[in-house]
Chains A and B, each alone.
Chain A
Amino acid sequence: MCLAIPGQIVEFMPDQPHLALVEVIGVRRRVDLGLLLDDPPRPGDWVLIHVGFAMSKISEEEASQQFQTLALLGEDTAALEEVRGYEQ
C-alpha cells in the first residue's frame, strides 16, 4: 500500500474529466487524477499511482526505476494485480 505504481497517461475519459486511461506494463485502467489539480498531467506524462489515484508526476526515467524497485522488492506481481483490479 505504501509502494507507488508508475503508469503513463494514455487519454482522458471524455465523459469523466477527472479520470484518465493509464497504462501500466501493457494493462490499461482508469485512474483518478483529482489529486493532481494543481499541475494536471497530459497524455504521455508519467505518474505514480496509489490506490487508484495519481499522486505525483514523475519523469519517464523515474518510472522505469520505480518498476525496477517494485520488481526487486518482489512486489511487481502484486502491483499488477492491483492495477488489474481498477476499473476498465
Chain B
Amino acid sequence: MKFVDEFRDPEVITRTADEIRSLADPGRHYRLMEVCGGHTHAIYRFGLKDVLPPNIELIHGPGCPVCVLPMGRIDDGLALGRDPNVIFTAFGDMMRVPGAHGSPLERKANGMDVRIVYSPTDALKLARANPDKHVMFFAIGFETTAPSTALTLKRAKAEGIRNFSVFCNHVTIIPAIRAILDSPDMRLDAFIGPGHVSTVIGCRPYEWIARDQGRPIVVSGFEPLDMLQSIVMLLRQLKQGVAIVENQYKRVVPWEGNRAALAAMAEVFELRPFFEWRGLGFISQSALRIRDTYAEWDAERQFQVPGVRVTDPKAAQCGEVLKGVLKPVQCKLFGRECTPERPVGALMVSSEGSCAAYYNYEHRKAASTRLEPATV
C-alpha cells in the first residue's frame, strides 16, 4: 500500500494487515463483497488490495446509484425535460451519464434547460424563483439521499409550491443484496456493509443476511483502517464459523438508524411492486415511488412518461461488472471505447463506479508501469 504513510496510525494499519494474513486460511479463497460504491472508490484509491493476501478477493457491489439506473429511466426523465416550460435539475453525478440519446449535459448543449443542483432544496428554491416554469428534480440514490428528497417534498406541500415535481428513482439496498445472493453465478463469503446508508437504516435490516443466509456482514467506515478492521472482523467470524451483523462504524452509525429520516421516507414514499436495475434486472419491492398523498408533486403522474426500455450498448458488459461476475478490465470496451473521458456505461462516469475507480487508479498505474522500461 503505497500511501500508508499518509494515513492515520500507519503502525496500526500494518498490524491490522498482519492480523488479516494470520487469520486467512491459505487453503481457502475468500470472496468479500463491498456493497457501497464509496468503499469501492476507497479500496482502489488507497490500494488496499496491495496489502491483502491474494486469496482475499474483493467483489464490487451494486451500491453506486447512477450505475444501477437503467438507461431507459434517464431517457424518460430527459423526455420530460424536452418541454420548454420545464427546468430539468439533477445532481452533478448524473450529468454525464449517457442515455440512449445523449447525457443530460449533451442535452443542455443542445438547448435544454438542464441545471446542476447540490441539494433537492436547491431545486425547490429554483421553483420558488421561477413561478412561470416547472422545475423537475431527477432524484437518484439509496437511503442516504432518499430522506432529503422526502423532506423537500414535505416542504413543497407545506408551502403549496405547485410548479415543482420529483422524478423518483430512489432505490433500496436490501433487495439488491438479496438479488445478488439469489443469483446462481455468484458465490460470496461475506459482506462489507455500507457506511452512510446505514446511518439511515441502521444495522437491523441486515440481520437476515447473517441469520438466513449464513453470511457475516460488518458495517464499515471509509478510512483504510476502517476497511481493514472490517475485514479482520469478517475473517474472525468466518474462522469461528459464525455469521452475525457487526458495526465497525459505531462512531457514526447508530444500530437503530435515523428514525426521523425513516419517518420522512415512510410518509412520502412507498415501495414500487418492482423496478428495473442495470445488470440485476427487475427486482420486486426494490425502489421507492411517491405516495398518492404527494401525487401532485410526482413527475411520473404530472407528465406523460414514455416508459422506454433501452438495452445497454451491446458490447458493454456493465451488468456483469455490476453483479461482480466480471472485473472491469474484463469488459471488452474497458479502456478502449469506454473511458472516463468518453464513457459508454454509467460505471465509468461516477467516482463510485467500479470501472472509473479501476481505470483511474489501477489501469493508469499499470500503464505507467508498462512505460517505465521505455523511458529508462
Choose one: B122, B222, B223, B264; the contact of A52 (CB below 8 Å).
B122
**B263: nearest residue on chain A (CB-CB)?**
A37
**A40: nearest residue on chain B (CB-CB)?**
B260
Which stretch in A7-15, A20-28, A71-79 binds the other chain?
A: A71-79
Q: How far is the CB of B323 from chain A (nearest CB, A)?
A: 19
Contact B46 A52 (CB under 8 A): no
Q: A51 to B146, alpha carbons, bound, how many Å?
A: 10
Q: How far is the CB of A24 from chain B (nearest CB, A)?
A: 12
For A2, the chain B residues whose CB sits under 8 A away are: 36-38, 63-65, 144, 194, 196, 352
Contact B196 A65 (CB under 8 A): no
Contact B352 A1 (CB under 8 A): yes
Instruction: Tell me if A43 is interfacial: C-beta within 8 Å of chain B.
Output: no
For B145, the chain A residues whose CB sits under 8 A away are: 1, 50-51
Contact A72 B3 (CB under 8 A): yes
**B7: nearest residue on chain A (CB-CB)?**
A72
**A70: nearest residue on chain B (CB-CB)?**
B222
If the complex has contacts A1-B65, A2-B196, A51-B145, are A32 and B252 also in contact, measured as CB distance less than 8 A? no
In the complex, the number of residue pairs spanning A and B with C-beta atoms less than 8 Å apart equals: 117
Residues 275-297 of B, flagged 1 when their CB comes within 8 A of A and 0 if not, give 00000000000000000000000
For B122, the chain A residues whose CB sits under 8 A away are: 52, 85-87
Contact A52 B252 (CB under 8 A): no
Choose one: B224, B252, B264; the contact of A35 (CB below 8 Å).
B264
Contact B8 A82 (CB under 8 A): no
Instruction: Tell me if B236 is interfacial: C-beta within 8 Å of chain A.
Output: no
Residues 97-117 of B, flagged 1 when their CB comes within 8 A of A and 0 if not, give 000000000000000000011
For B63, the chain A residues whose CB sits under 8 A away are: 2
Residues 48-61 of A, flagged 1 when their CB comes within 8 A of B and 0 if not, give 10111101101100
Q: How far is the CB of A18 from chain B (nearest CB, A)?
A: 8
For B65, the chain A residues whose CB sits under 8 A away are: 1-2
If the complex has contacts A53-B147, A53-B151, are A1 and B141 also in contact, measured as CB distance less than 8 A? yes
For A48, the chain B residues whose CB sits under 8 A away are: 196, 199, 252
Instruction: Tell me if B320 is interfacial: C-beta within 8 Å of chain A.
Output: no
Q: Which of B330-352 contact A (CB under 8 A)?
A: 350-352
Instruction: Tell me if B127 is interfacial: C-beta within 8 Å of chain A.
Output: no
Q: How far is the CB of A75 from chain B (nearest CB, A)?
A: 7
Choose one: B194, B252, B259; the contact of A56 (CB below 8 Å).
B252
Q: A55 to B254, alpha carbons, bound, how many Å?
A: 12
Contact B196 A4 (CB under 8 A): yes
**B147: nearest residue on chain A (CB-CB)?**
A35
Residues 244-256 of B, flagged 1 when their CB comes within 8 A of A and 0 if not, give 0000000111100
20 pairs, CB–CB < 8 Å, chain A vs chain B: A1-B91, A1-B141, A2-B37, A2-B63, A2-B65, A32-B121, A32-B151, A35-B261, A35-B264, A51-B91, A51-B118, A53-B119, A55-B261, A56-B252, A68-B223, A73-B42, A85-B117, A86-B118, A86-B119, A87-B121
Interface residues of B (CB under 8 A from A): 3, 6-8, 36-38, 41-42, 45-46, 63-65, 91-93, 116-122, 125, 141, 144-145, 147-148, 151, 194, 196, 199-200, 222-224, 251-254, 258-261, 264, 350-352
Interface residues of A (CB under 8 A from B): 1-4, 32, 34-38, 48, 50-53, 55-56, 58-59, 62, 65, 68-69, 72-75, 82-83, 85-87
